[in-house]
Chain A
């Protein structure tokens, strides 16, 4: 079954404690991205990756890091989380990053993060 998986699905942590949210896709997609969704602000792109070892900033990259060492995985790293990073996070993937070939892609089920 084609899917994007995220772990953990729910996480409560404290300010400053480093954490990683994993994202994995089984469709051999080149393009992967991370979003956060907040009430009143909608979905905002954090980082995206066109392919292995190629990443770029989205609209709200501050406080986040990513890496793309393998095609299937795209972890999101919060090195020193703060309460304003409390949000619902989605990972997504698509065949390519170009509108002409990507379609809309697949989204993961989401990770609800609370930073106290």
Chain B
């Protein structure tokens, strides 16, 4: 069974204080790992897809990296508007249309 564990559950940062969120996964045949941002009362918003160990993707203050066992979402010099819940998900399996399994998320608060 595919498993995704995110840590920490919650993280409070001061504006400008860089940090990292972790996503550990156990899957058979990883096809892709996804990062999303979710604001309260809204649907998740896609951020990145990573496909293989060693891959990195960047967008503004966010950088996602992938190893064979985990992914990190690095947040550099965060701003209050980066406050949100960050979700990690994996897609695995041998056939097309395989399921997407989510972690429970990390709730990030950035104080001004």
Contacts and interface: CB of A to CB of B under 8 A. Distances in A.
A22 to B, nearest CB: 15
B46 A103 contact: yes
Contact of A99 (B32, B42, B87): B32
Contact of A42 (B42, B43, B51, B105): B105
B104 A41 contact: yes
Given A56-B97, A97-B97, A43 B44 contact: yes
Main secondary structure of the interface of B (DSSP, over half): strand
On chain B, which size bracket covers the interface?
20 to 34
A107 B99 contact: no
Interface stretch (A44-52, A64-72, A76-84): A44-52
Interface of A: 4, 31, 33, 35, 40-45, 48, 50, 54, 56, 58-59, 90, 92, 97-100, 102-110
B86 interface: no
Contacts of A41: 104
